[in-house]
């Protein structure tokens, strides 16, 4: 990249990356750069990105940071925002809308659709790929937010023959979920791993000379190399600590502090004390941008402090984004704050934030204890995240909201915890959802909320083949006083499925009641599910009109999303096709459901 030093001592690694980029005929494929913190992964990543541009690739890059791990779809926005306007008219309408909502360009207008967002991203990549080669780069992939990780995994499985290269850097031993997903989606033969080991003595010498402008004696460089273990980041920090004219006497130890934090503190000391106030602000931001810093500090002060930090090599500005030169610097700047300083800073950042999710998370980090107002803001952010196709973020926000719910609002706390468990269930985290629901049910409360927890737990138990537990939870839910119609519908529908093979008449009674209750919810997706359930039970009983019930269910629920793929009326349709010996028809429907389940990682 322009302004970046070349990757000294990485000739073999760079040659491997360039060879990968040159083999356009072998795409799609992926290249994973792995190494410890400070090993030079980003330098190689940047060099390869620049080389891709020179070769005519369209380059989309995101650089997730630790602070963004909980911010839904943060990496996706970095990848797509620069090209969205260019390709928007070429996207399928539903996918374009889902992606626009995820990018915060449009307000949600319907049911959440995580696969719609993923399909939109895939459409973007395919549209760009139709014009030429595309490089999707993820630096520090171990910090990807879960929703962006899902979207990238979805796309990797469907690139077919598209000329798309995926390049990711990750810390050794911290691959996250993306790298295994790339191997599954593209196949091991198309995913190349590049370990980034220690630099040679000569390379360390060149790095120190180029970055710091000093020429050290070979014996001194050799000592630095040994102490740093060939890690260029550590070597540079040790060389900085020596100063421009080192005067070590023979046998005198290197001025290397025993703790890495002290080395980093020396690096930060290059900034005047009054200018270092910028660093914890940027480190505390979930998504540091020039616009956000401007709003927080004012244009003049933000510009002055940022220029100083850039000159010192601590921060860098990449378009709108502000990044630390190394993640360890960010962690250190944030870690130096006292708990009270962190709370105060997050409170100020919440006031300046225009993004609902970011404001909610800052308010939570600023809270001294239970706070009903903050809990309500978190719940609103969870609804917004769910509507944008980010159920994992919604679950995190609801769980935090529950933690901050005042003690005298017990029902509110349980409602949020159940909502969080349901969101985890939607995202495919059934085991985690079940654990949370069991913990909730150990608490002494009754009524519709307890019934809802049991109904959701019943569904999870049924899906995980624990039918005894499923029946116990469903029947327990129906036994609770003051049960809400929507919850009773869920329990009756679950029992209809559960009993359909062992007591079809009883299953039919539950199915009819589920249809009646579904009509009171005003949710066409739920009505469609209930009709399809009644139809599949009626098929087992050889009742006339069974097929019509399923057809009605499909029609009513058309275009609606469902919590899990097997709840869609098409699943009941596929089963009845098997029972009526239409195996090809069943296979076609099952393949469509399987494809959708893979899209959602369900």
Could you report the per-residue pLDDT of 351-398, keeping only the tens digit for each? 988 889 999 999 999 999 999 999 999 999 999 998 888 888 899 999
Q: Is 215 exposed, middle or buried (0-12, 13-18, 19+ CB in 10 A)?
A: exposed
- List, for residues 15-26, the tens digit of each pLDDT value: 999 999 999 999
Beta bridge partners of 169: 33
Which pLDDT does position 1 carry in this prediction?
39
Q: Is 56 exposed, middle or buried (0-12, 13-18, 19+ CB in 10 A)?
A: exposed
Which pLDDT does position 271 carry in this prediction?
82
Question: d(Cα 98, Cα 107) in Å, to the nearest integer?
Answer: 10
Which pLDDT does position 255 carry in this prediction?
58
Secondary structure letter of residue 287 according to DSSP? S
- How would residue 601 be classed by pLDDT, with cut points 50, 70 and 90? low
Query: Cα angle vertex 266, ends 199, 204, to 5°?
Result: 15
Which pLDDT does position 65 carry in this prediction?
86
The domain segmentation of the chain, as residue ranges, is 11-195, 201-256
Q: What is the mean pLDDT of residues 271-297?
A: 87
Q: What is the mean pLDDT of residues 35-60?
A: 90
Which pLDDT does position 240 carry in this prediction?
80
Is residue 332 scored above 80 in pLDDT?
Answer: no
Question: d(Cα 328, Cα 199) in Å, to the nearest integer?
Answer: 19
- Tally the residues of the chain: 602
Is residue 165 scored above 70 in pLDDT?
Answer: yes
Question: d(Cα 561, Cα 523) in Å, to the nearest integer?
Answer: 11
- Are 363 and 374 a contacting pair, CB within 8 Å? yes
Which pLDDT does position 181 carry in this prediction?
85
- Are 296 and 302 a contacting pair, CB within 8 Å? yes
Which of 253-267, 300-314, 372-386 is the least confident region? 253-267
CA distances to 108, 497, 576, 579, 589 from 547, in Å:
35, 17, 8, 12, 15
The 3-class secondary structure across 110-124, one letter per residue, is: CCCCHHHHHHHHHHH
Is residue 572 scored above 80 in pLDDT?
Answer: yes
Q: What is the mean pLDDT of residues 413-423?
A: 94
Percent of the chain with pLDDT over 90: 41
Which pLDDT does position 260 carry in this prediction?
60
Q: Is the dihedral of CA 239, 243, 246, 250 positive or negative?
A: negative
- How would residue 3 be classed by pLDDT, with cut points 50, 70 and 90? very low
Secondary structure letter of residue 558 according to DSSP? T
Q: What is the mean pLDDT of residues 468-486?
A: 93
| Ranges of H-type helices in 130-217 | 146-156, 178-186, 201-212
Which pLDDT does position 112 carry in this prediction?
47
Which of 39-48, 218-227, 274-283 is the least confident region? 218-227
- Report the run of H or E that residue 197 belongs to, with start and end: none
Q: Is 424 exposed, middle or buried (0-12, 13-18, 19+ CB in 10 A)?
A: buried
Is residue 93 scored above 90 in pLDDT?
Answer: no
Question: d(Cα 521, Cα 463) in Å, to the nearest integer?
Answer: 24
Which pLDDT does position 598 carry in this prediction?
67
| Residue 135, φ and ψ in degrees, nearest 5 | -115, 120
Max mean pLDDT among 55-59, 142-146, 464-468 falls in: 55-59
Q: What is the bridge-based pairing of β-strands 29-35 and 191-195?
A: parallel
- List, for residues 452-462, the tens digit of each pLDDT value: 999 999 999 99
- List, for residues 168-193, the tens digit of each pLDDT value: 998 887 767 888 888 888 888 899 99
Which pLDDT does position 438 carry in this prediction?
94
Question: d(Cα 351, Cα 361) in Å, to the nearest integer?
Answer: 12
Q: What is the mean pLDDT of residues 148-159?
A: 90
Which pLDDT does position 261 carry in this prediction?
66
Is residue 256 scored above 70 in pLDDT?
Answer: no
The gap from C-alpha 430 to its chain's centroid, in whole angstroms, comes to: 18
Mean pLDDT of all residues belonging to the chain:
86
Quote the tokens at residue 542: 């050889």
Is residue 258 scored above 60 in pLDDT?
Answer: no
The 3-class secondary structure across 243-273, one letter per residue, is: CCCCCCCCCCCCCCCCCHHHHHHHHHCCCCH
Which pLDDT does position 197 carry in this prediction?
83
| Ranges of H-type helices in 89-145 | 93-102, 114-129
Q: Which CATH number fits domain 11-195: 1.20.1530.20, 3.40.50.300, 3.30.930.10, 2.60.40.790?
A: 3.40.50.300
Which pLDDT does position 110 carry in this prediction?
62
Q: What is the mean pLDDT of residues 416-425?
A: 93
- Are 216 and 243 a contacting pair, CB within 8 Å? no
Q: What is the mean pLDDT of residues 489-514?
A: 92
């Amino acid at each position: 990249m322009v302004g970046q030093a070349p990757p000294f001592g990485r000739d073999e690694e760079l040659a491997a990356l360039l060879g990968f980029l040159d083999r356009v005929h072998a795409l799609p494929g992926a290249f994973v750069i792995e190494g410890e913190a400070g090993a030079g992964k980003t330098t190689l990543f940047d060099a390869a990105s620049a080389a891709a541009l020179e070769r005519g690739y369209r380059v989309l890059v995101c650089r997730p940071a630790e602070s963004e791990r909980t911010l839904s779809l943060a990496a996706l926005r970095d990848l797509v925002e620069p090209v969205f306007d260019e390709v928007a008219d070429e996207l399928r309408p539903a996918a374009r809308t889902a992606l626009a909502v995820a990018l915060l360009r449009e307000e949600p207008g319907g049911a959440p659709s995580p696969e719609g967002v993923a399909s939109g991203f895939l459409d973007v990549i395919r549209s760009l790929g139709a014009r030429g080669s595309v490089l999707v780069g993820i630096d520090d992939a171990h910090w990807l937010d879960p929703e962006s990780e899902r979207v990238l995994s979805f796309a990797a499985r469907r690139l077919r023959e598209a000329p798309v290269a995926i390049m990711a850097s990750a810390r050794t031993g911290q691959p996250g979920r993306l790298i295994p997903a790339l191997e599954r989606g593209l196949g091991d033969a198309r995913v190349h791993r590049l370990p980034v080991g220690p630099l040679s003595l000569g390379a360390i010498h060149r790095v120190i000379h180029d970055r710091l402008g000093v020429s050290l004696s070979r014996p001194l460089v050799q000592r630095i190399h040994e102490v740093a273990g060939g890690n260029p980041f550590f070597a540079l920090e040790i060389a900085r600590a020596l100063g421009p004219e080192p005067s070590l006497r023979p046998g005198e130890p290197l001025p290397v502090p025993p703790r890495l934090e002290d080395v980093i503190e020396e690096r930060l000391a290059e900034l005047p004390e009054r200018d270092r106030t910028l660093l914890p602000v940027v480190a505390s931001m979930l998504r540091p941008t020039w616009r956000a810093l401007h709003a927080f500090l004012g244009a003049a002060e933000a510009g002055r402090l940022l220029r100083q930090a850039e000159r010192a090599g601590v921060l860098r500005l990449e378009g709108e984004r502000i990044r630390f030169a190394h993640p360890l610097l960010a962690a250190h700047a944030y870690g130096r704050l006292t708990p009270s300083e962190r709370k105060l800073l997050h409170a100020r950042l919440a006031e300046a934030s225009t993004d609902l999710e970011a404001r909610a998370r800052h308010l939570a980090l600023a809270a001294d204890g239970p706070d009903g107002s903050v809990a309500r803001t978190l719940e609103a952010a969870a609804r917004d995240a769910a509507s944008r196709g980010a159920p994992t973020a919604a679950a995190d926000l609801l769980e935090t909201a529950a933690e901050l719910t005042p003690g005298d609002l017990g029902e509110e706390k349980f409602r949020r915890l159940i909502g969080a468990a349901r969101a985890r269930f939607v995202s495919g985290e059934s085991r985690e959802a079940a654990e949370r629901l069991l913990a909730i049910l150990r608490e002494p409360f009754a009524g519709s909320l307890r019934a809802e927890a049991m109904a959701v737990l019943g569904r999870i138990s049924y899906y995980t083949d624990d039918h005894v537990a499923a029946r116990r939870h469903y029947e327990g839910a129906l036994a609770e006083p003051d049960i809400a119609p929507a919850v009773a519908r869920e329990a009756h529908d679950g029992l209809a499925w559960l009993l359909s093979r062992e007591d079809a008449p009883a299953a039919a009674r539950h199915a009819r009641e589920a249809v009646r209750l579904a009509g009171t919810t005003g949710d066409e997706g739920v009505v469609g599910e209930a009709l399809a359930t009644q139809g599949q039970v009626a098929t087992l009983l050889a009742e006339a009109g069974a097929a019509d019930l399923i057809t009605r269910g499909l029609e009513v629920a058309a275009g609606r999303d469902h919590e899990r793929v097997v709840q869609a009326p098409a699943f009941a349709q596929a089963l009845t096709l098997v029972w009526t010996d239409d195996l090809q028809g069943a296979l076609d429907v099952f393949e469509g459901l399987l494809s959708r389940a893979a899209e959602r990682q369900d």
